[in-house]
Structure 1
Amino acid sequence: MSTQDLASTYPAHLARMQSLAERALERGGFAHLLVPSGTIHYHLFDDRDYPYAVNPQFKAWAPLVRNPGSWLVYTPGERPKILYLQPYDYWHVVPDAPSGYWVEHFDVVVIRTPEEALQHLPAEAGRCAILGEASSAVGDYTPNNPAAVVNYLEYHRAVKTDYEIAMMRRATEHGVRAHRAAERAFRAGASEFGIHLAYCQAARQDANDLPYGNIVGLNEHAAVLHYTERDRVPPREIRSFLIDAGASHDGYACDITRTHAYDTTGEFQQLIEQVDAAELRICDRVRAGTDYADVHLHAHLEMATILHQAGIVDMAPESMVETGVSAKFFPHGIGHYIGLQVHDVGGFLASEEGGRIEPPAGHPYLRLTRRLEPGAVVTIEPGIYFAELLMKELAEGEHAGAVNWDRVDALRPYGGIRIEDEVVCTDGDPVNMTREGFAALD
């Protein structure tokens, strides 16, 4: 995807952002939309700053992710305006002058201090919907985050424009390249920390540039869903490797998980292949009009079938799902929206006005409960884990007798399996951006 492709799709994206903003402002009774980019925060009792994270409501308009103290100003019927903070500073690198395919669509005003924004904001602060964190306030312009505006915008964030999907494809290109490097490091005997460094090098992104902290787990560590310790020394015997790691491109994220067996001919490798095949079948269910909660429940049936066929649990797959046994091995949700944020917003919203669609009973960690629409981008990430705490709960429960504990004990040292792709819902067949990204490297 070239810069020319982004330039050609950006105007339609910006037009949609303006249209959504106009309707959101009307619903909330406001005349202007103001979105600060965010500020730098400091550690308590220290002058050390946290990594800056741009306001997602700001980067939705323009690919600016390193400009704290800037503002987006939009008044219906007028050109959108960017107040671009370019401070006089010899301690830090000053942001370059605004440039690129997006600039011609804005009135760009360079400011030298955050307070200088006051000269260019609408006259009446009370008529502005201001979306951001409280620390972004200047003068009387304090973020108010009106629910009518935020809910409307976040509800419609579920559907991505062609420009946004192109940006996510770029992020995926970085991610799949780095995943290949991580697998090579694993097979060369690197530590978790060494694999992480290899990943960052291949992605050409520092840990602070990545959309979330890399999960890099060898052996039993793969059973910890959000394992981020990263041992500096590799284990004596390397058996398995699970990596959940993404990449960013101008504010958009990718989210990819892969599991590898060191012995590519053994039993754990066969289990990985079974989960991988099931994951592709689940991806095919990402279709317009489908209730995502149904995708989640079907994923449980797929994982339960694997557990039954592998001789791990002697129960009918349907019974495993109904009794919650499958949830002991597959405790997380099947996925979530992704875009400007890894866990993109709006997953529970019942409508443009708000309200919440709860997950199915017994499945509290599902992050998306809406019906899928063309343009939605979701992750599909089934897994089978042998986590100590969950296995203990299962062993103490009423269905312990249905579990082949010798098989579980044999698989505990491998930790677990998860496979995750990003899938675009369309008017027809789903598009698997992750698989396409890996195929482009072959």
Structure 2
Amino acid sequence: MWTRRPGRLRSLAFGVEELRRRRREREAALRKARREQQLVSKRLLREDAPEEAGGQSAAVLLGEAEVQQFLRLAQRGTDEKEREKALVSLRRGLQHPDTQQTFIRLEGSMRTLVGLLTSNRALLQLEAARCLHELSHSEQSAVAEACLPATSYLLTYLSGHSSDFIELCLYTLGNLIVESEAVRKQLLPQGIVPAFAACIQSPHVAVLEALGYALSQLLQAKEAPEKIIPSILDSSLPQQMLRLMQPGPKLNLGVAMEFAWCLHYIICSQVNNAVLLTHGALPTLALLLLDLAGAVQRMDDVGLELLACPVLRCLSNLLTEVPAEAMGQQMELRDERLVAALFIFLQFFLQKQPALLPEGLWLLNNLTANSPTFCTSLLSLDLIEPLLQLLPLSNVVCMLARVWSCYSCYSCISQRLPDPSCSSQGCRP
């Protein structure tokens, strides 16, 4: 995955797209665990992908003397090939947690690695960046802090020409951002938001997906609502994110999923969602939901639920920001289409991902909370019976289904006014 050499890719048990799909599934599980248990999720890129290809780790435990030797050879080797080979050996050693601790304890080790990262030798730069990437994936916060001197250079290299190198820098920054407040404090005044805004113009899908990951990590920082999201909303990033989520033949599932989660974190902050509404977030998300519903009908399980989940959440939470009288202009859609698409997903979730049923029902609740028109559509499409079929599934699903059932009562519909005692909109974190 580093250099996308065709020969190396053919030797793997799975192709690149399959590896990406599996990684997205693991990331979805990590995001869920992080929400529930405050876990830190990180990503790791490796050329050999040993966990996928052979099931055995290539990590090697290195002692202090060996780490010093590899650093010395990488810095003063007789030729570039020997120096590169020393960095490769060091990188494999840095896959072991104990070697990581040994490395950061050695005086001058990070200074040497940063020197190689900033050298004028492209291969040495790449291998040094890979070593930093291994360190960024560490579970020890002290390791992330030790990488602080390298972060400014990683940020600078985002304006480079190699898409593979930019992708690697983005994933490394994303891993460090989520771990260390010191890293965030250093990168914000150095222009990480403008750098990300420039990266989102890239034509390379891998770069865009890596950018979405790094941005989502930044948006989940505890200080994001006060110090990060306002500057993001003032940049071109919201418009460009919505552009990349426009349905059509150019839509990429992985890229759209990453930026849908970014959008979700921004919306939940409630800093200034009016900016997103001004940029057309609601119609974009609604059209994307319609497109995904059509894809669900055409194809078997292709991982569409990984994108559907954040899209449903974004729509649900944005609807709480829209006055009832303005909803029609914001959606720019016939309500029957949106409701039908929502029930297609409810049926899909029922068969494939029952845990995601509350996401669809939450959107249904927020759609109908202040809109008798949507309530009427539900009745005209004869969707009460499918909703009632969800009642036995779980307490959460039953509660949400019952909440909506209040809106289908004759008094609400006949008067074409929502009954305040039935339900209210809510923001889902």
Q: TM-score range by the shorter chain?
A: under 0.3
Instruction: Say which structure, 1 or 2, has more relative contact order (CA 8 Å, 6+ apart).
Output: 1
Q: Which has more helix, going by share of residues?
A: 2
Q: Which has more strand, going by share of residues?
A: 1
The TM-score normalised by the length of structure 2 is: 0.25
The TM-score normalised by the length of structure 1 is: 0.24
